[in-house]
Structure formats: C-alpha cells, structure tokens
Chain A
Amino acid sequence: MAMEFLRPATWDEALAAKAEHPGALPISGGTDVMVEINFDATRPEYLLDLTRIEELTDWSADGERLRIGAGVTYTSLIADLADRLPGLAMASRTVGSPQIRNRGTVAGNLGSASPAGDAHPPLLADDAVVEAHSARGVRHIPITEFYTGVKRNALEPDELIAAVLVPPADGPQQFAKIGTRNAMVISVTAFGLALHPSTGTVGAAFGSAAPTPRRATKAEQFLAAELTESGRWDSRAELDPAAVTRFGALVAEAATPIDDVRGTADYRTHALSVMARRTLVWAWTDYRRKRVRTCA
C-alpha cells in the first residue's frame, strides 16, 4: 500500500493537514516512526513530516515556564537547557546513541508514550504541560493526564504537539536508569526526582514499571511532609536514613511492573527502591552543597 508523504511548510498547514487526515502519522525525528515502518508494524495512509517547520525547533522562556518546541532534539536540549532542566537533560543523555539524540525529540517520546520513554519521569516530576494545537485551537494538557494507557496518550486525532512547557528547576533534580548495558538500551526501569524547595513539594516518577509512566504520589507526599515537618528545607540538615528507606519503599509500592524480555517484575520493584534512595541522597547532597556556596 502506498504511503503519502505530506510536507507542510508552516504550522498552520500542518494543522490543516492533520484536520483533513486525522489518521496521518506525524513524523519528527523518526526514530520511533521509521522503526515501525521498516518492520511493517505500521502502514499509515499519510505520513506528516514536521521537520520543515522551523519554529518547532525553538525553545523560549514563556513566563513561569520554559517552552520547548516539538522539534527540539535531545542533543540541543542537552546543549542549551541542562542548567535549567537538569533532570530532563540527564534523562536525555541516556537516550540511545549520539545519532538517535541528534534526531529524537521529547515530543516524539510523548507521541509514542511508551512506558519506557526516558523523558517521561523527569517531565512528570517537574509538572510539565503538553501544549497541543489543532485547527480548532490550543489545549494545555497537564502531564499527569497525558498518558492514558500503554503507548496511548490524550491527543485528539486532529491534534499535534506544539511544545512542552516545563518550569525551570527550583531545586536539585536527578534521574537514574537501569538497563542491561550502558548505552543504546531501553530502560529496565527508570526514575526521576525533582525537589521543589520553593513550594515545599517533591516530584517523583518512574518508567517501565507500570502500563504508563507514573508518579509515586504517596512517596512524594511522604517526603515533602518529612522535609517540611523536620524543618530540613531550611536547615538543610542531613537526611534521616529511615526516611530515605521509607521513600524508596513507597516508590517501589507505587509500581505495578510485569515480567518481560528486559527484566522481571521483582527486579524492577527492587531496583526502583534502590534508585529512589540513591537519587534522593544525591539530590539532597546537592541541595546542601548549594547552601555552603551561597553562605560563602
């Protein structure tokens, strides 16, 4: 079956094309789409190439949030935004290989909505918002409402992702991933942590351990309360080891993993608790060091 290749030059044309052909498959970096097509797993009637639309590759500061265009690659995100979005940049560095990072985009990761996508935990931990456009208008989808099932997301058939809106880090962020080797690896499980001292809240989320990327809400609430009640946001005193352990256990509790070719459910749950504890210790060490620097 022939595939038609649509190459809109402007965003409006793209939205019009998507409205006219809701079944058209958008293609950005193509690092997911081309694999599917090459293996004959998908045969869409229309491919909608978004790479001619230059404005998609821009990022900007949009009020409280950074606005990352849908065409921004992992490579440029790492180069330009690692200081303001350290968690997302850490996750980006673990994606595939240099070639994949040169083409792949966060929007593509969102489009695929794989539970194993590495961008998801930091986006969840940092309260990102997906900016979806259609010929009908603009819709802001909170990231927690974006993932609707295994490889399914909340986009309407006529919608495209224009950008992802992410608040710049107001505290330390961490990301950890376990794979069966050191590069070019889909995570066995991954974990993202963002501490938000300005609001006294915590973001904690994981991938590859549930049908969708997921926040560990109870763990977030526990840790936020623990840090607030003990006065540690201000004192920056060392963490209570029991609290670190509890945090790890609560993260693991939030997971509902399965056994698959990459790893077992049991290992995933265990590894999540390890990563949660470790990233928390790293992040807190970072937070304490920052104070020393400001005092000096």
Chain B
Amino acid sequence: MNAAVSVDGDAETTANGKVVGTTVPRADGDAKVRGIAMYGMDYTEPGALTVRVLRSSVPAARIVRLDTSKAASLPGVRAVATAADTPGTSGMLVVKDQSAFAREDVRYVGEPIAAVAADTPAQADAAVAAIELETRPLEPVFDLDEALAEGTRHIHPGWSDYEVAVEGHRGGNLAWEARVERGDVDAAFAEADYVVTDEYRTPRQHQTSIEPHAAVARYENGRYTVHTPTQFPFMVRDRVAEHLGVRPSQVRVVVTEIGGGFGGKLDAMLEPIACVLARKAGRPVRLVNSRTEEQTTCAPRENAIIRLRTAVSRDGTLLAQEAEALSDNGANSSGETVLCANVPALVLGSTYRIANVRYSSKVVYTNTAPTAAFRGVNGPYSVFAREMHLDHIAAEIGMDRRELRMKNLLRTGDTMINGQELDDACLDVAMDRLNEIAPWGERRSEDGRLRGIAVVPATWLTNPGPSAGAVRLSEDGSVVVTSGAVDIGTGALTGIRQIVADELGVPFDQVLIAHPDTDTAGFDNGAQGSRTTFGMGAAALDAATRVREQVLEAAAGMLEVSASDLELAEGHVAVRGVPDRRVSLAAVAGTAMWTTGPIGSTGKFAAPPVNFDAGCMTGALFTHMIGVSYHAHLAEVEVDPDTGKVTVTRYAVVQDVGRAINPGLIEGQVHGAVAQGLGYALYEDLRLRDGVVIDTGLESYRLPTALDIPPIETELLENPGNQGPLGIKGAAEPPIVPVAAVVACAVADAIGSPINSLPLTPFSVLAALRGRDSRDESSRSG
C-alpha cells in the first residue's frame, strides 16, 4: 500500500517529466467550457428530416389495428416506419425479447409503435397524430410480487420461444434468476443466537444526462451510418443490426461528444428507428428526445425489493444469510438488468465474512418502461439494504455499529461468497483511515436538531470487458491513438493520453485520440463500470509498448548504438548518459517510413482469468470481480425534527484506486458520484402511478443542486492491482455505491428509527419520526 496521494497537486509533470500521477487538465475541457464541442444533439446533416415517434399511451394492450396510410399521405411526410420494418428481436446480450416497435402487444407507456420522418417538426407531429391505432386493453402488471404470483397474466406469453445467450432460470414474468448457495445455511440458522429479518424497497433513479438521446442516420451504398452520443458504439452497432435484421458490418456508428450518460446511453434506443427511416426516406434523418421522453422511456436504474434474513451469534459473528432481491426489468430486457442479475448477491457477499449464504436475485417483467444500467447498477440499493440490516443486527445484539462491521470485515486473503480470494483487500485500512479523518463516536446536538453518523465499507469491481486499440507515430513526432473507447465526460481519454505519453516519452499534448468510429476502431466494451482507463488503458499501453520497440529499433540504427542503451524523453530518443546524442521522434518516424515502414501497432486487452467457485452459482452472468477496489464512506447528518429535512453536514471518502493516473479527475468523479448518490438517498424517485411516469420533467424530478452537496473530503489510496495496466483499478463508478447506505444509516442513527425505503424526503423522514414517537408513546402507556 502506497501512501495516500494528494488530489490537489497541480504540478503538470512529475520530477522525472512523467505525466502519469499528475492532474493534467482534461484534453476535451477547453471546447466544452467554450461551448464549441459538438454533442449528439447539436449534430445534423444537410437535408436531415425530423423524426417523431408515436408512443403507447397505455401500459398493456393488444394492437387491433394500426393504419399509417393517412399519415404517410400528409404533406412533407417522407417515411413512416412500424414493426413491419424492424423484423429482428433484440435485447441486451442475454434475453432477446425486445422489438424496436411494438408488434402484437404494447407493454409499457411510451413504447414506440410507429415513427415518421417529415420535412418539418410540425409536419412530423401532424403525421403522428394522423396514425390510426386501435388497441384492446390487457390486464397490466406493475407490482413485483404480484408479477411472480400464480395466475398473474404473463407479459410475454411467448417467453419460452425467445432466443437466450445462455440458459438460466426463467419463466412467465420471471425474466431471469441468479442463485448463489454456499455452506450449510439451515444448520447455521438452527444454531444462531439471533435471527434478524428485514425488507427494503428502493425507487427508480433516472440518469438524467443533460443531453438527451439523439441520433442522426443516413443510408448510403447499402449501409447505415448513425451519429450518436453513445457510451458503447459496438453495442449500438450490434443492436441496430439485430433490430433491422442485417449484419453488424452493415452498420457504422460514429460517436459525437457525449453530454452525459451514466449508463443510460449504453443501449440502442433511437438509433434503430433513425436507421430504418433513413433507408425508407432516402434522406438523412434526425431524432432527438424531449426531456419528457427521456424521463418516461429511457431506462432508469431499476426499482427493487430486497429481503434479508441473517443468523448471528451473540458475539456479532454473521453465521448465515438468506436474501431475495427482486429487480424490476420493466417490459423487456433491452437494458442491463438481466445481465446484472447476480450483482446483488456479489454485493451482499463481498465486504463481510459470511460462510453460509443462500441468495436469489430475480429480475421481473412489469408493464413499465424497461430499466437499465445506472452507475453502480444494483450496488447502491444492495449496499443500502446490507448496511441498514447490519445496523438492525447491531441494535438487536447490543453491539456498536462500527465494531460489528470491523469484526466481520473481509481482510487480505479472505474469500468472498463466490469463493474468490481477495489477495489485496484493504477495507480495514480504508476504515481506519476514515476513523483518523473523523473519529467514530456519537454526534450530539445542542440546538434540538437530531444528529447522526455512519461509516460504510464497500468492495467494488471494474468492468472486465475487452478492448483493442492502435497507436501510431506520426511523421511530425506526435502520436495518434485509435480506439472505440469513448469519453463519456469523465476525462478517461485524458488518462489514456497520459499513459501513452509516458510510455513513448512525448509531451502530453503530443498524444491525440481519434474520434470513435466502428469502421476504423477496434472493439471496445464501452464506457461502463470504470473500465476505460483500465481496459482501454491496457490495450493502449500494449500498443504503445510495441511502438516503443519499433522506435528504439529505428533509432538504434540512426544513432549506431544498441537499443538497450536508448531512452525516450521529451519527444526524443537519446543515448542513456549522453543526452546530446539524440534524435527527434519526427526524425525517427521519417527514417522508419522509408526503411522499416511507418511506425505503429495495435494492442489489446482481455481480463485475466480469476479463480472462484463456479459451482455455487446458477444463472449468474456476473460471477466474479476484476480490478477489485475497496472503499469506506462516512456521513454526518442533521435532521430537523419538525420538518423531517435532512442536511448532510459532512461527507468523507477513502477510496482505493489502485494507481491514480490523474488524481484531480478522480476527485471530480468522486464528487460527481457522491452528488448522484445523495440524489438517490435524499431526492430522486422516478414515480409511476398505474404504469404512468409522474415525473415527466426536472421540475418534480429533483436532482441535487450545488447547494445540496456538502464539501466532500476525499482521500485516494494507492493499492495497486495486478489485472489492469500500471496497477490501475476502476475509480469512477464505485464512489456512488455506498452513498445511499451511509446517508440512510446516519439518518436512522439521528432519528432513532430504521429506514426501510428511499429516498429520504422530508415527508418520509417526518413519517418515520412520527412512527417512532407513536411507538414510544404506546410503549410508555403499555
């Protein structure tokens, strides 16, 4: 474990001229600050038509008649598309149960039924209004438990015919189930001193990127080209092809600047619709979501129910645990919810020692908009449930809340519930460090406000997806990296440039990154799960290492020394110890051009295999963790006893990042993640009533503002991993994971009453306080 790194170091290079480990300003920052950057919603093409989508206004119905002939004949209308034009059935990798337009049935309010492309927005609106649609209502299904109950209507009557990537437990309204079972759970429960049972419910949270989804498509030479602000261009390529029933190579995805995504822009949404209309109209088309379409149809974090039952001994040992997690898939599996089905189990069993577990994670169909990945996926609610439940256990056995955690914490060399050994665990170090920053103890108030404190440890992973990249030395001595990795706004590509700059001994600003385009770039698994610096960083470093060898070989000939006597720095190759004997990289590139050929190489990354106990899991698509990082968060809160308003007065994060390539950018990610986590904890709740989203805009869907976020104390620990390049671990996603948990535990501490659902609005906190008061009264009178 290295010493904690300073996040406010402003040196642009270290003493040895390296940029890795320094807060280099973001390479994309200037254009974004000046408003010059071209986002997806800014992009258009000459003659582009406007697209408008007819969306379902009911949650569940059979389509009896759909007639677009009148709409098609209106002035300015160039094309109309329906399910007849998108023959494919798609889905996010696992279950293929989604059509781009509703086919026989509509399954959620907002589901696309048809779309039109017209010369003007008004003409497109008029055409949508002229589409004739007749439906017969079907019994809608909204409640997760009810969906799984015997006799409930199946939302996908033909579920058994769907193509699946792997087999798993599924059937009826159960879209997928993952199970983990280890040890002898029943025996442990039989021996326990205490058995503690709880249920937790959490809402949908919307990614709410500033930029809505947008797509501009054209059809030329038998191929589709779509410009889109996507997080995962290769996924969009494959999904568009699947929907349209064409080969992926017939689709080219070009990525614009991205105005935020947070998981909401991993899947194809508007792209298939834009592509089919571009082909039918023979003109480019442009489709941009309204904010209401974003809120009502774009795949938020799933609502969930987690039921926990834990066997504990008098001394606080966690003997066994049972869990049932129900996650709302929405109407189909277009998002990552099925793929992530096993994440609740991994989260429940990755931070504390529990030898015996039986976990079941069920992903459930409902007649609501599909859910999808949002930073931290199932993590925030699983940790919330886990930690509130631990507080309940602590209260039950009369043990200090921190002590209970420290006692059961996984230490170096311990194994998680999947049997994976954590040989670099440092949860205890993170917790101890947090305790130095803000020593544990009761927080008392003198002014009548209720005060509370909590600390929460957490383990998180890095998305293990593969990556390919190419690095070439240009004739002027600069370096160009080509990859399918996108910068979703985290500054991840700045980190890639830093890695390549150091490997090739060139100044940071001499490394450029080509715009992602699936025609020219190698595969990349998308900007998700903090993987860009990790996976793409590894691929870029691999390529740069080979380029370095080519440079040294060419320079060795030019300088007439052995390659092993050469070093790269400041854009030159020099003879070690004789700094005057050097040649510029431009000269090396020029010489190589006509001798060995232009200098350049590809590089690649695949996550190394990890040992774990595959036998304890069924239906798990996330089976283990790669690039494991360790975290500890602290929150102090004040609660107004009369209004229920929660104020977070202090927030501290100690985070293992493996190796900090750019500490300032990581700190920015910690701030953003904590802010989003506070939104989830305190404000955000994408409410639905009878399948209709109530929060159709940002007036009632409350995101936190700068005035709602306390100063965030951040400390980065460098505990290098051995699976990514340079010891790197994913750093951007995890800081959202423990936030709701630590805030809820602190609020529960303040009000002396448990919290079983989110968000902690003034209304719910006041209700909890009143519940406590009435309990107190009844116990006094009784």
CB within 8 Å of B: which residues of A? 97, 178, 180-186, 188, 261-264, 267, 270-271, 274, 278
Contacts and interface: CB of A to CB of B under 8 A. Distances in A.
A267 B707 contact: no
Contacts of A264: 763
A185 B682 CA distance: 14
Interface stretch (B99-107, B196-204, B694-702): B694-702
A186 B697 CA distance: 13
B705 A181 contact: yes
Contacts of B766: 267, 270
B683 interface: yes
Contacts of B705: 97, 181-184
Given A180-B702, A180-B761, 8 more contacts: A180-B683, A182-B705, A183-B705, A183-B706, A186-B699, A261-B694, A262-B700, A267-B766
B708 interface: yes
B762 interface: yes
B442 interface: no
Contacts of A180: 683, 702, 761-762
B704 interface: yes
Nearest to A184: B705
A181 B648 CA distance: 12
Given A262-B700, A271-B643, A274-B642, A181 B708 contact: yes
B645 interface: yes
Nearest to B767: A267
A267 B708 contact: no
B700 A182 contact: no
A62 B255 CA distance: 61
Nearest to A274: B642
B530 to A, nearest CB: 28
A267 B708 CA distance: 21
A178 B706 contact: no
Contacts of B763: 263-264, 267
A108 B127 CA distance: 37
A44 B768 CA distance: 47
B762 A178 contact: yes
A183 B643 CA distance: 17
A97 B708 CA distance: 13
B764 to A, nearest CB: 10
Interface in B53-94: none
Given A181-B708, A267-B766, A261 B643 contact: no
Nearest to B640: A274
B129 to A, nearest CB: 14
Mostly, the B contact residues are loop
A129 B700 CA distance: 32
A197 to B, nearest CB: 27
A185 B705 CA distance: 10
Interface in B705-720: 705-708
B642 A178 contact: no
A30 B404 CA distance: 56
Given A178-B643, A261-B695, A271-B643, A183 B762 contact: no
Interface residues of B, number: 20
Interface string B672-692: 000000000011000100000
Contacts of B642: 274, 278
Nearest to A277: B642
Contacts of B694: 261
A261 B700 contact: yes
Contacts of A181: 682-683, 702, 704-705, 707-708
Given A183-B708, A261-B695, A267 B762 contact: yes
A189 B178 CA distance: 46
Nearest to A182: B707
Q: What are the 9 tightest A-B residue pairs by CB atom distance, in nearest-first order?
A: A182-B707, A183-B707, A261-B700, A274-B642, A183-B705, A182-B708, A181-B708, A180-B702, A267-B763
Interface string B636-648: 0000001101000
A274 B644 CA distance: 11
A163 to B, nearest CB: 30
Contacts of B708: 181-183
Contacts of A182: 705, 707-708
Contacts of B682: 181
Nearest to A264: B763
B53 to A, nearest CB: 17
A5 to B, nearest CB: 20
A97 B687 CA distance: 25
A274 B643 contact: yes
Contacts of A178: 643, 645, 762
A222 to B, nearest CB: 21
Contacts of B700: 261-262
Contacts of A274: 642-643
B577 to A, nearest CB: 59
Contacts of A261: 687, 694-695, 700
A118 B700 CA distance: 17
A249 to B, nearest CB: 14
Contacts of B687: 261
A183 B645 CA distance: 14
A107 B694 CA distance: 31
Contacts of A185: 702
Nearest to A186: B699
Interface string B555-571: 00000000000000000
Nearest to A263: B763
24 contacts: A97-B705, A178-B643, A178-B645, A180-B683, A181-B682, A181-B702, A181-B705, A181-B707, A181-B708, A182-B705, A182-B707, A183-B705, A183-B707, A184-B705, A185-B702, A188-B762, A261-B687, A261-B694, A261-B695, A263-B763, A267-B763, A270-B766, A274-B642, A278-B642
A143 B708 CA distance: 34
A99 to B, nearest CB: 12
Contacts of B761: 180
A183 B705 CA distance: 7
A25 B378 CA distance: 49
A183 B695 CA distance: 18
B405 to A, nearest CB: 30
B168 to A, nearest CB: 39
Interface string B613-640: 0000000000000000000000000000
Contacts of A183: 705-708
A185 to B, nearest CB: 7
Nearest to A180: B702
Contacts of A278: 642
Interface in B324-339: none
A184 B682 CA distance: 16
Nearest to B701: A261
Nearest to A248: B642
Interface string B727-767: 00000000000000000000000000000000001110010
A186 B683 CA distance: 14
Contacts of A188: 762
B584 to A, nearest CB: 50
A188 B644 CA distance: 13
A263 B645 CA distance: 13
A183 B766 CA distance: 21
> Which of A178, A180, A186 gathers most chain B CB within 10 Å?
A180
B697 to A, nearest CB: 9
B156 to A, nearest CB: 32
B740 to A, nearest CB: 16
A271 to B, nearest CB: 6
A97 B705 CA distance: 10
A264 B708 CA distance: 22
A144 B465 CA distance: 66
Nearest to B696: A261
B80 to A, nearest CB: 23
A265 to B, nearest CB: 11
Contacts of B695: 261
> Which of A188, A263, A267, A278 gathers most chain B CB within 10 Å?
A267
B125 to A, nearest CB: 10
Contacts of B704: 181
